[in-house]
Amino acid sequence: MSLLAVRAAAAAAAEAANRGKIRSRAVRALSDRTMRFLLFCAALFSIVTTFAIILVLLVETVKFFSISYAAPLAITQGDTIASIEAAHGDAEVLAPMNHGIWPPTTLDPGSFVNVPTTPSVVDFLFGTRWEPLLGAERHFGILPLVAGTVMVTVIAAIFAMPIGLITAIFLSEYARPRTRAILKPILEVLAGIPTVVYGFFALMVITPYGLQAPSRFLTGLMLDLGILRPDPIDPGPSAIFGGFNAMGAGLAVGIMILPIVSSLSEDALRAVPRSLRDAAYGLGCTRFDVSTRVVVPAALSGITASFLLAMARAIGETMIVALAAGGLAQLTLNPADQMQTMTAYMVQIFLGDAPAFSVEYQSSFAVASVLFVMTLSMAVLGSIILRRFREEYE
């Protein structure tokens, strides 16, 4: 190695000499300093990007909370136009609903007027109805969208984490080098497939053949065996899962993050020094004992970091859920229902479902902020765990 170094260094020096241009020390120092500065600017670009993300999301979210839109307010006994206007910050009361004449001569209790309202932060963060586009009232409670995201992520995690971890253990502890050489590229291929393809797969293969067909088979079986009573109107076997459902999308997201979990966990497992393993083998442990009691606990911080990173990726996944999970934002625990995730809602808005610069349009930025905070905290948590709890054995 050192011979190589000397040879290479000598070649560089000789090349400079042959060019007849051994530059003066000052010139070299200047070019060194210039390049250093340029490279520093390039490195700053990443900081600029982060600041740009935070700034843009912050500005647009603030805009969201300050746009006023017309929300109905029920009229109770004793309300007058003046009192309503005073109560709502002197804002002008807009046209009433269910009345034909304006200005109204009487305000009947039980009817409604529209008052300008701005979305409130508390309602946004803790509200349970997300109905920004339709309906008698507009609701901007983000919990249904968060529930959709969490449901899809949890299904993906339940699928990907055990299989990914076991695959990683297999690759690092059990597999021969030849098997590794074949399997690793296969997993990398899985990692490189675009997410649109997984969305298509969820819609066309997972839902009809993986979920609906087995459900029909099982319910048909249960009907035949008498476990299920047949429905009087629709007595055949039921598919249980609708065309859009959270389960199919969740499984597709799980397939997508499987290679992330397995390759990062495998890196963490291989970083554990051989001496630990050898000592355990020397005591007569089987491979299983070594893997589960020695290697995995030693690499636990890396494995946890890989789980968190994979979950961050799953939370931010867009195309799969846009194609397969559905468009109804509802707070439900049933994975057979369709659920709208945060990213799917943003796609719906940006594909033109709302006029530009209106409150619905701005709501997608607010949702993006929440999404960003969620993924950022997972990534930061992952790096903290990695740095703090990593076991060093040197």
Partner 1 sequence: MSRASFADGSVTRLSPPRRTPAEIVASAAPKSAARRVAVNRAFLITCLVCTTLAVLVLVVLLISIAFTGGHWLMAVDRVAAFDSAWSIPGPFGSLGNVAAFVGAGLVALLSILLFAPLKLSLRRVVLSVFLVALALSCWGLWGFIRTDFFTEFASRFPHKAGIRAPLWGSIWVCAICGIVALPIGIATAIYLEEFAPKNRLTNFIRLNISNLSGVPSIVYGIIGLTAFARLFSIFGTARDQPGFEFGTPEQWFYLRLPFGSGVLAGGLTLMLVVLPIVIISSQEALRAVPGTLRQGALAMGSTRWQMVWRMTLPASIPSIMTGAILAMSRAIGEAAPLLVLGVPLFMRRTPENLMSDFTVLPLQIYRWAADPRQDFRDLAASGIIVLLVVLLSFNAIAIFIRQKLQKQLQ
Partner 2 sequence: MATFKIVALSLFSMLLVLSLGLVALTAAPQDLGKLPRSSVRIDGSSTVYPITEAVAEDFSKVAPQVNVTIGMSGTGGGFKRFCVGEIDISNASRSIKKTEADHAAVAKIEFIELPIAYDGLTIVTHPSNTFVDRLTVDQIKKIFSATGGVKTWKDVNPAWPEKTITVFSPGTDSGTFDYFREVTVGKDGKMRSDMTVSEDDNVLVTGVAGDPNAIGFFGCAYYFENKDKVRAIPIVNSKGAAVLPSHDTVTAGAYEPFSRPLFIYVNRKAADRPEVDAFVRFYLEKAPKLAEEVGYIALPESVYGTAMTNWKARRTGTQFLDASGNPVHGPVTTTYK
Instruction: List interacting residues with partner 2 (CB under 8 A).
Output: 97-98, 129, 131, 133-137, 139, 207, 231-234, 238-239, 242-244, 326-328, 330, 338, 348, 351-356
What whole-number distance in Å separates Cα of residue 342 and Cα of residue 370? Answer: 9
Query: Of residues 193, 213, 221, 222, which one binds partner 1 by CB under 8 A?
Result: 193
Sign of the torsion formed by the C-alpha atoms of 352, 356, 362 and 363? negative
Partner in contact with 137, chosen from partner 2, partner 1, none, beta carbon below 5 to 8 Å by kind: partner 2
Closer residue to partner 1 in complex, CB, 71/308? 308
Closest to partner 2 by CB, 119 or 259: 119
240/252 Cα distance (integer angstroms): 19
Q: Within 167-186, which residues bind partner 1 (CB under 8 A)?
A: 167, 169-171, 174, 177-178, 181-183, 185-186
User: Which partner, partner 1, partner 2, none, binds residue 232 by CB below 5 to 8 Å per kind?
Assistant: partner 2
Across the strands, what pairs with 69?
117
Q: What is the DSSP string of 85-122?
A: HHHTTTPPP-PBTT-SSSS-S---TT-EEEEEE---HH
Please report how close the Cβ of residue 4 comes to partner 2 at its closest, in angstroms.
16
CB atoms within 10 A of CB 394: 3
Query: Least CB distance from residue 84 to partner 1, whole Å?
Result: 35
Q: How far is CA 291 from CA 157, 166, 286, 329, in A?
A: 22, 10, 9, 43
**Nearest approach, Cβ of residue 97 and partner 2 (Å):** 6
- Window contacting partner 1 (CB under 8 A); options: 64-72, 74-82, 100-108, 290-298: 290-298
Report which DSSP code applies to 294.
I
Which residue of 100, 192, 232, 355 would you call a contact of partner 1, by CB under 8 A? 192
The rounded distance, in Å, linking the Cα atoms of 257 and 308 is 11
Q: How far is the CB of 118 from partner 1 (least distance, A)?
A: 22
Q: 220 contacts which partner out of partner 2, partner 1, none, CB within 5 to 8 A by kind?
A: none
Exposed, middle or buried, 199 (CB in 10 Å: 0-12/13-18/19+)? buried
CB atoms within 10 A of CB 75: 19
Interaction partner, residue 87 (partner 2, partner 1, none; CB < 5-8 Å by kind): none
Work out whether the CA dihedral 325, 313, 145, 354 comes out positive or negative: negative
Secondary structure element (H or E) that encloses residue 131, with its range: strand 130-131
Give min distance, CB of 159 to partner 1, in A. 10
Name which position in 19, 20, 24, 47 contacts partner 1 (CB under 8 A).
47
- Max distance between CA atoms of the chain, in angstroms, equals 99
* Mode of pairing for the β-strands spanning 69-74 and 112-117: antiparallel
For partner 1, the closer of residues 79 and 289 by Cβ is: 289
Q: Which does 53 bind (CB under 5 to 8 A by kind): partner 1, partner 2, none?
A: partner 1
Contact window for partner 1 (CB under 8 A) among 106-114, 232-240, 330-338, 375-383: 375-383
Q: What are phi and psi of 136, to 5 degrees?
A: -65, -40
